[in-house]
Structure 1
Amino acid sequence: MKTLLSLAATAALALTTTASAQSAQERLDDRYNYALAAGYKAMMLCSAMATSERLGGSRTEESVHEWELTGIYPVLDPIIRDLPYEIVRYSVDGMANPPVYQVRVEWADDMPARAATQSVNGGCYVEPIGASLAEPLPLSAESANANVADDGWTTNSAVLSGSAKDRLGDAAFDMSYGEGSRTTAALVIRGDAIIMERYAQGFGADTPQRTWSVAKSIASTLVGIGLLADGIDVNEPIGLNYWRQGGAPDLRNQITIDHALRMATGRYSDTPGNRTDPLYWGGSTVDETAMRWPVVHAPGTVFRYANNDTLLAVRTVDRFLGYYGAEDLLSRFGMDRTIAETDWRGGYVLSSQVWSTARDLGRLGQLYLNDGVWDGERILPEGWVEYISDPSGPQPEGTDWGYGAGWWTFRRPEGNAFEGIPDDAFAARGNRGQYVVVVPSRDVVIVRRGEDMVGTRFDIAAFTRDVLAALEEGGSD
């Protein structure tokens, strides 16, 4: 289907100033923002629909517009929903709704549409700005049909009373934990069983959503798996191999795996560290975007939250991931409904670009409850849980949260400011309200998924505290 460019979008082309009043750079930036908005829209439509269909479900265009494409970055939000788009599907004999091949979004009269294309693993990648677009080849029905096994979860309804589950579930969805927050899933696990689970209308146990920066904790996990397999220590240099004339070493050669996991490489980038728009929406590659920045601080001395640092850490296990594939490695501990997306050259974008279900993120938490062991097999190195949850490196400023190695912690080196939450608790956190909280001492995992409006925040600490308190009380009112 193809939408029509509305009057609102046409008016937005003028943005806030007239063309005659803009500098050449401002006009260039405006044009770039339209290219990014089109890439953002193409990726969200393609990924949401393709991953859901790959896992045996479905997402409608209307649902993606309502959730993923509403309440986003202020610069892109007024533009994005009205950009004309086309969903191109494969041709499959006998199939009424064949898989998505590509989503194309128009953004400029003199340039090709921005496009996101489904990859062989069921995720999508964004094509470079200006890329020419090809038509899909026919698919066989065998390769097009989804085949997803049961996820193997058990439930234990006796741990929390019905009234406690209703109270916690209602509060998670009615903005009690943040005005403007929009919860799509809330899941509580104790031990090996689900004890509370609720979804927004249109979402369910098999609905994948973008993890955003929860992917960083998944990346840390994959790095741990690779380091165990290859016998590599986190304090070894990453091996950037920069050398100056005469053989003098570059300071970047001192960056270790630990520095990258702890957001302490000391590297510069020309945007805030959480904004990697050229890679996420612009069609650049991991190598082009993340690898070549200079250092402005000695490695290991300053915390700076940066997507590029996670991508650099993943580089240490590139060959390992390339051989086994992220999906196969994640399935070793039950994350069978998780798809790790790549750039158009096949580089994993594990700082954000992963689509997963709430239940699969529960499996991630369970692996850490089990000290990195799954079905009797050690998946993560011994001591990895303590390592990733130890805020021993440089710490973020202006927050009560600490940072470990790819995971956030509820304690900082100076102590725990979160009353009612044990010191050993740690969490994966992502944009728009993605959370996985692990509390080893209470044998509990809490997963919250959302599509929170920009500028709003779900209070995951308060929700965690209330869940733990209800469990302490045995679920009674």
Structure 2
Amino acid sequence: MKLLKRTLLLLVVVIGVVIYLNYSKLNIISGYAAKNMASGVFVAERSAASMNQNDNNVPMIELADTEVNQDEKSASSKVYGFMERKAVFREGLGTVLINDEYEPNKLTIKPNRNRPLDTVPYPYGQATPKDTLFSNVDVNQLNKAFALAFANPEAQKTRTMLVLYKGHLLAEKYIDGFTPETPILGWSMTKSVLATCFGVLEHQGKVEMDWPAPITEWQEDDRKEITLNHLLRMQSGLEWQEDYTKISDVTRMLFLESDMTQLQKEKQPVAKPTEIWNYSSGTSNLLSGILRQQFRSHQEYLDFPYSSFIDKIGMYSMVLEADIAGNYVGSSYAWANTRDWARFGQLYLDKGSWNGEQIFDAGWVDYITEPTLHSNGEYGAHFWLNAEEKYPDVPKDLFSCNGYQGQHVFVIPSKDLVVVRTGLAEEPEFDANKILSAIVKSIH
């Protein structure tokens, strides 16, 4: 009995120490757990049990106790009974963490979607992919590459992988619980989706990348020199802390702010534009706010990404989640199934041409793949690059959308390849260079 009491006392002390050391983080922990759960259940249509066992079963987040309310389409989380946070689902806009500023009936509009039926084979349409054989494709080598990607599920945590070659589906694989229809959170792959909106606007003659950022508050100081190009290249020189291990600029923005477009706007410069490269999710959401300024109404803003390219290329599973203020969270919250993420890659492989229509200028691909100063050749304009051979065994012309926990859309123009990989682990657990090299070797 004494041993039991001592054990219980020790447990209480340990819990107390954990809470004391991490109290300031509890808002973030419970917020992450609630938001992730709500989106997993109501956007991806996965079970709460699967989300708890996998997606929320990561350090610190696993401390949260999360419950789902199917009737009101919400999820709530607490950490040892403290700091309850709640996320709610809104049709067409995904889920959002709510706070005292949230008014459930205020944002009643949603994006209009256009989903015409067609008979065109995937990826250019919705029909069954063609069963195409290429004499220069080594199927055995390709199978070996897939085996490598799924060889160690406990460490690699690969969930899905798909390869397109010359606009044809070569291979795809899904672990149990995931199918070609299961939406996957892209995390920072969303940044590349947001950037594409500006590529479309440029193609339409409505913006130019060297235009000063249209921020009224910046016109009275040195920030007036910041252009759209500087923002897309993460070289504005503005202060920003991208640290997910504590309450920093990025965690405050994602889990505490009602309007995520504002925080980067309020920051002061620490350098002149182009003098430094500083990866900033706040910059992406600032750009989402700038995108909203281009339209006369909120409805036009909500419709634009879908009408201008998402629905045009058949990415019908994609959902762009919005914050409380109705801004798309362009840094982090786009969902789409693996096949639709591959369509996005194919659009870039085809330099903006889709079924005879030019979605954005071919030169836009040259622009987003031009290495940004001080990024060590790893970053272009909201896309990642291999210009300095980050992946040494893969062609240097590779560029990609990358997201937290190893979400990737890789485009390799010299090999006519698009590779999508999703999962819950990144380097070094998932060796992208090794897997991509094995895939490239299958093309002769």
User: Equivalents in 1 of 2:128, 2:250: separation in Å?
Assistant: 36
User: Equivalents in 2 of 1:132, 1:122: separation in Å?
Assistant: 15
Q: 2:265 aligns with which of 274, 284, 291?
A: 291
**Alpha-carbon distance change, 323 to 451 in structure 1, aligned in 2, over 3 angstroms:** closer
Q: 2:217 aligns with which of 242, 245, 252?
A: 242
> Are the equivalent residues in 1 in contact too, given 2:150–2:158 (CA < 8 A)?
yes
TM-superposed CA distance for 1:49, in Å, is 1.3
> Are the equivalent residues in 2 in contact too, given 1:154–1:192 (CA < 8 A)?
no
> Are the equivalent residues in 2 in contact too, given 1:214–1:434 (CA < 8 A)?
yes
Q: 1:251 aligns with which of 197, 201, 222?
A: 222
Q: 2:87 aligns with which of 106, 116, 133?
A: 116
Structure 1 unaligned runs (5+)?
1-6, 20-25, 53-57, 91-99, 136-146, 473-477
Q: Residue 151 of structure 2 aligns with which residue? A: 174
TM-superposed CA distance for 1:322, in Å, is 1.2
> Are the equivalent residues in 2 in contact too, given 1:185–1:198 (CA < 8 A)?
yes
TM-superposed CA distance for 1:9, in Å, is 9.7
**Alpha-carbon distance change, 337 to 175 in structure 1, aligned in 2, over 3 angstroms:** same
Bigger Cα displacement from structure 2, 162-171 vs 342-351: 162-171
1:429-455 superposed Cα distances (whole Å, 9 cap, x missing partner): 1110101111112211000001117x8
| Match status 1:102 vs 2:68 | no
Q: Residue 195 of structure 2 aligns with which residue? A: 220
**Which secondary structure does the structure 1 equivalent of 2:421 belong to?**
strand
2:53 maps to a residue whose letter is E
Q: Residue 374 of structure 2 aligns with which residue? A: 395
TM-superposed CA distance for 1:134, in Å, is 7.4
Q: 2:306 aligns with which of 327, 330, 337?
A: 327
**Alpha-carbon distance change, 187 to 63 in structure 1, aligned in 2, over 3 angstroms:** same
TM-superposed CA distance for 1:378, in Å, is 1.3
**Alpha-carbon distance change, 230 to 198 in structure 1, aligned in 2, over 3 angstroms:** same
TM-superposed CA distance for 1:78, in Å, is 4.8
**Which secondary structure does the structure 1 equivalent of 2:396 belong to?**
coil
| Correspondence list, 1:430-449, <5 A | 430-449=403-422
Give the TM-score of the pair, scaled to structure 1. 0.78
TM-superposed CA distance for 1:181, in Å, is 1.9
Structure 2 unaligned runs (5+)?
1-7, 106-114, 118-124
Q: Residue 66 of structure 1 aligns with which residue? A: 53
2:36 maps to a residue whose letter is M
**Which secondary structure does the structure 1 equivalent of 2:87 belong to?**
strand
**Which secondary structure does the structure 1 equivalent of 2:16 belong to?**
coil
> Are the equivalent residues in 2 in contact too, given 1:226–1:317 (CA < 8 A)?
no
User: Equivalents in 2 of 1:359, 1:43: separation in Å?
Assistant: 24
User: Equivalents in 2 of 1:385, 1:451: separation in Å?
Assistant: 29
User: Equivalents in 1 of 2:173, 2:28: separation in Å?
Assistant: 34
1:463 maps to a residue whose letter is I
TM-superposed CA distance for 1:461, in Å, is 2.3
TM-superposed CA distance for 1:154, in Å, is 1.2
**Which secondary structure does the structure 2 equivalent of 1:268 belong to?**
coil
| % same residue | 24
1:207 maps to a residue whose letter is T
**Alpha-carbon distance change, 103 to 313 in structure 1, aligned in 2, over 3 angstroms:** same
Q: Residue 23 of structure 1 aligns with which residue? A: none
TM-superposed CA distance for 1:42, in Å, is 1.0
Q: Residue 35 of structure 1 aligns with which residue? A: 27
Q: Residue 272 of structure 1 aligns with which residue? A: 243
| Match status 1:424 vs 2:397 | yes
User: Equivalents in 1 of 2:208, 2:165: separation in Å?
Assistant: 32
**Which secondary structure does the structure 2 equivalent of 1:203 belong to?**
coil
User: Equivalents in 1 of 2:439, 2:170: separation in Å?
Assistant: 11
1:49 maps to a residue whose letter is V
1:125-172 superposed Cα distances (whole Å, 9 cap, x missing partner): 1112x568979xxxxxxxxxxx99683351445244553343122110
**Which secondary structure does the structure 1 equivalent of 2:274 belong to?**
coil
**Alpha-carbon distance change, 327 to 153 in structure 1, aligned in 2, over 3 angstroms:** farther
Q: Residue 348 of structure 1 aligns with which residue? A: 328
**Alpha-carbon distance change, 457 to 157 in structure 1, aligned in 2, over 3 angstroms:** farther
User: Equivalents in 1 of 2:352, 2:335: separation in Å?
Assistant: 22
User: Equivalents in 2 of 1:47, 1:440: separation in Å?
Assistant: 33
TM-superposed CA distance for 1:194, in Å, is 0.8
| Match status 1:460 vs 2:428 | no
1:41 maps to a residue whose letter is A
Total equivalences in the alignment = 409
User: Equivalents in 1 of 2:414, 2:241: separation in Å?
Assistant: 41
Give the TM-score of the pair, scaled to structure 2. 0.83
User: Equivalents in 2 of 1:208, 1:12: separation in Å?
Assistant: 38
> Are the equivalent residues in 1 in contact too, given 2:384–2:400 (CA < 8 A)?
yes
2:96 maps to a residue whose letter is Y
2:432 maps to a residue whose letter is I
Q: Residue 15 of structure 1 aligns with which residue? A: 17
1:414-472 superposed Cα distances (whole Å, 9 cap, x missing partner): xx46444223221111110101111112211000001117x854222222121111112
Q: Residue 317 of structure 2 aligns with which residue? A: 337
1:214-269 superposed Cα distances (whole Å, 9 cap, x missing partner): 111111112211232343110111121236xxxx8311111111111111011112
> Are the equivalent residues in 2 in contact too, given 1:272–1:306 (CA < 8 A)?
no
> Are the equivalent residues in 1 in contact too, given 2:63–2:80 (CA < 8 A)?
no
User: Equivalents in 1 of 2:11, 2:354: separation in Å?
Assistant: 51
User: Equivalents in 2 of 1:216, 1:10: separation in Å?
Assistant: 43
Q: CA RMSD in A?
A: 3.0
**Alpha-carbon distance change, 458 to 353 in structure 1, aligned in 2, over 3 angstroms:** same
